[in-house]
Structure 1
Amino acid sequence: MSELTIAKRLEELGIVLPRASEPAARYANFVQAGSLLFISGKGPAGNPKGKLGLQFTTEEGYYFARQAGIEILAVVRSALGSLDRVKRVVKLQGFVNAVPHFEEHHLVLNGCSDLMLDVFLEKGLHARSVLGAASVRANLPIVIDSIFEVEE
């Protein structure tokens, strides 16, 4: 898929990528090792605070995961100069800030997974894991890190 096609696809989806967010502490926003690009954990825009199953519903969590995915794409574009260099989404790992009895972590992370499939089509199909967390930085509802295979 060419950058023009990805740009058109983003436009069709109504997605405008923001400027890449900066790291929240002392670490790199991304690291490239050979053909793998590792994106540090990203949360949703606006820094909402709270837990799934307490302040937020699964549906709201899905939206937050999608927002975090948009933040991830902005960093990928910043790192590579072009989303056209993405060969595939390799893995997403979500950390859902949730109450102990919350059981829909997988449905929350679908917000980011669906975004990657919408944007990259078959190249967006990825492995993933999702974990419930007693807490995450800044009391965000979700933080997602990711790995992409890229053209060197």
Structure 2
Amino acid sequence: MDVYQRLQELNIELPSPPPKGGVYTQAREFGSNMCYLSGFGTDINGVQNYQGKLGKEYTIEQGQQAAVNCILNILAVLHHKLGDLNRIRRFVKMLAFVASENHFSSQPAVANGASQLLLDVFGEEVGLPARSAIGVNVLPGDIPVEIELLVEVK
């Protein structure tokens, strides 16, 4: 399956890679076939789409869409870094940070938005990583979700 064809079938257009938010590397290849992606937020093409916390300003469904935006940014950076998303052998590990109101405990449900997009685009064998979803008090820029990934490449 061609990843770009699948994106087109799903009517998904990759955004421009987001600018760095500090002094770090967005994607670091290491070993013979691994790539670590720094945490990416919800802003698409420089537009701030979300600001606030789950359980206060946002519902689970809105949080899932915010998580989708994080994955779209990650895919944009991976496309830029690797030159071809078809080089992805599998998504190994996802870490989702969810800015949450004190009594909100559905962080895994929010992360499902990101996992579902990877599943829809890449299929189960490639697209479903091991995953943790962690509730935090606040994220940079007051975004509700930030996601980082570890990817194995061909």
Provide the TM-score with structure 1 as the length reference. 0.94
Alignment of 1:29-40 (within 5 A): 29-34=26-31, 35-40=33-38
Match of 1:22 among 19, 33, 57: 19
Alignment length (residue pairs): 148
Q: Distance in 2 between matches of 1:100 and 1:30?
A: 32
- Aligned twin of 1:145: 148
In structure 2, stretches of 5+ residues that fail to align are none
User: What amino acid maps onto 1:149 in structure 2?
Assistant: E
Residues 113-136 of structure 1: CA deviation (Å, up to 9, x unaligned): 001111111211210001000111
1:131 aligns with 2:134: yes
The structure 1 segments of at least 4 consecutive aligned residues displaced by more than 4 Å after TM superposition are none
Which letter does structure 2 place at the counterpart of 1:9?
A: R
* Identity in percent: 38
Shift of 1:18: 1.3
Within 5 A, what are the aligned runs for 1:48-67? 48-67=50-69
Q: State the Cα deviation string for residues 86-107 of structure 1 (Å, max 9, x = none).
A: 0001111000001110011001
Aligned twin of 1:81: 83
- RMSD after superposition: 0.9
Specify the code of the residue in structure 2 equivalent to 1:39.
L
Secondary structure of 2:56 counterpart: coil
Cα offset for 1:10?
A: 0.0
Deviations 1:9-63 (A, max 9, x none): 0001110001211211111111000211111111112332100001111110001
Residue identity matched to 1:26: V
- How far, CA to CA, are the matches of 1:115 and 1:91 in structure 2? 15
Q: Which residue of 1 aligns with 2:3?
A: 6
Instruction: Letter of the 1:133 partner, please give it.
Output: V
* Distance in 1 separating the partners of 2:21 and 2:146: 12
SS state of the match for residue 59, structure 1?
A: helix
Matched residue, 1:72: 74
